[in-house]
Structure formats: structure tokens, C-alpha cells
Amino acid sequence: MAKNKEQKIADFLFEIGTMRKLPRMHQQTLLTQDLSDNIATHSYRVAMIAWFLAKSEGADVYKTVMMALLHDTKEIRSGDHNYLHKRYVKIFEDEISKDQLGKLPFKDLFEIDEEFEERKSKEALITKDADLIDQILLLKEYAHQGNKEAAIWLNGKGHTETNNAQFRSLKTKSGKKLGKEILSGKVSEWWEDIWTSKNR
């Protein structure tokens, strides 16, 4: 029996919920087990980064944020793969996207995902920058906690900020500015001016 519009949407929303259960596979090579780092939490911060970059770059904010929210949904069906896995695993992303998004009642999500994968539009480049910036943030957080492997990934083998692979891959002016600020800043600066020793 064919599913109606609401059934298709409900199925998709249940599927999206499973993103919370999918760990990111860099944990294997970063030698850390971080239960808070999953595809859903990553996608949320990527969407927030994308919003700021889209505003700064004068891009379509809605489309950019939607790209960010969708950018890893295919991993629900394929799993996340680190750079070691990618050497040995073939992922049928086009097929996943058609089955997962192409059969939904509205074609917008499928079209937005296709545009992101092409990496030609301003919004697609911004979204990829947001994805890379989230990785910089994560590495900075792990290095702050004493993860030596994360510190190597963060600073490169030369241990300087300009050796960061993610930073070197950034395409937008706003992405580069934000990436530089994150690399030179501290993870705890966000609360330094608001803490107090007294209850109100």
C-alpha cells in the first residue's frame, strides 16, 4: 500500500532521530570516546556556523542552514567513515539521496542536497566551510582536554595554526576569518566575562 504524505514525513522524522545514535568515526583515530559527539550534535553546530557565515557573506540563509542540517543525513544509511575507512569503503551517496530525500512529498530537500554536493553555489561553499569549522572547534576542544592526537590534527606536524588542514581548505572570506579566530582563541573565553562567585 502506498504511503500518504504524512506517513512519508513521519518515517523521515523517525529516521532523522536516529542521527543521535550515530557516533562520528574520527573517535577511532583520535583515540577518544565522546558520547556527546554524534551526527546530530555535529549537524546542529554546523547549522549554527552556517547561519553566521551566510549572514556575513550575503547568502541565502534558509538554503545554507538547510544544507547544513542535511549535509550528513546520508550517513544514517551509510554510517560515518573516517579517512582510514574511506580507503576501503564505497558509498552510494546518489542512491541514498534519491531513496531518502527524493521520495519525500516535497522535492526541496533533495534539490538542496544535490546543490550542496555539487559545491558550486555560494551556499554550498559556505556549508562546507561550516562543516570544516566545526571540526576545528572539536579538535580545539579535544586538544584543550589534553588529547595529544587532536593537538597534532589541530596544528599539523609543524605545530603552527597555519598547518591546520581544515583551515587551509576554507573557501570563503568569512570562513577564513572565523577559522583564524577559533584557532587563536581559547575554548573557555565564552564564559570568562559572565562568571560570578555569588548567587543572585
CATH number of the domain that residue 20 is part of:
1.10.3210.10
Which SS3 state, helix, strand or coil, does residue 183 take?
helix
Give the sign of the dihedral formed by CA 48, CA 49, CA 55, CA 59: negative
Closest to 153 (Cα-Cα) out of 163, 145, 46: 163
Whether 196 is covered by a domain: the verdict is: no
Q: pTM above 0.85? A: yes
Whether 198 is covered by a domain: the verdict is: no
Q: Are 167 and 135 in contact (CB under 8 A)?
A: no
Residue 27's pLDDT band (cuts 50, 70, 90): confident
Q: Residue 23 carries which DSSP code?
A: B
- Count of domains observed in the chain: 1
Round to whole Å and give the CA distance between 122 and 112.
13
Q: Are 137 and 45 in contact (CB under 8 A)?
A: yes
Q: Which residues contact 75 (CB under 8 A, 6 or more apart)?
A: 19, 22, 39
Round to whole Å and give the CA distance between 44 and 173.
22
Whether 199 is covered by a domain: the verdict is: no
pLDDT mean over 18-47: 93
Assigned C-alpha cell, 38: 554524534
Q: Are 178 and 133 in contact (CB under 8 A)?
A: yes
121-169 pLDDT tens trace: 999 999 999 999 999 999 999 999 999 999 999 987 655 555 789 999 9
Which pLDDT score is estimated for 86?
87
Closest to 49 (Cα-Cα) out of 141, 169, 177: 177
Host domain of residue 89? 5-187
Q: Is 142 exposed, middle or buried (0-12, 13-18, 19+ CB in 10 A)?
A: buried
Whether 193 is covered by a domain: the verdict is: no
Gyration radius from the chain CA atoms: 18
Whether 197 is covered by a domain: the verdict is: no
Kind and range of the H or E run holding 15 = helix 5-17
172-197 pLDDT tens trace: 999 999 999 999 999 999 999 998 99
Q: Which residues contact 185 (CB under 8 A, 6 or more apart)?
A: none
> What integer best gives the mean pLDDT of the chain?
93
76-128 pLDDT tens trace: 999 888 888 989 999 999 999 999 999 999 999 999 999 999 999 999 999 99
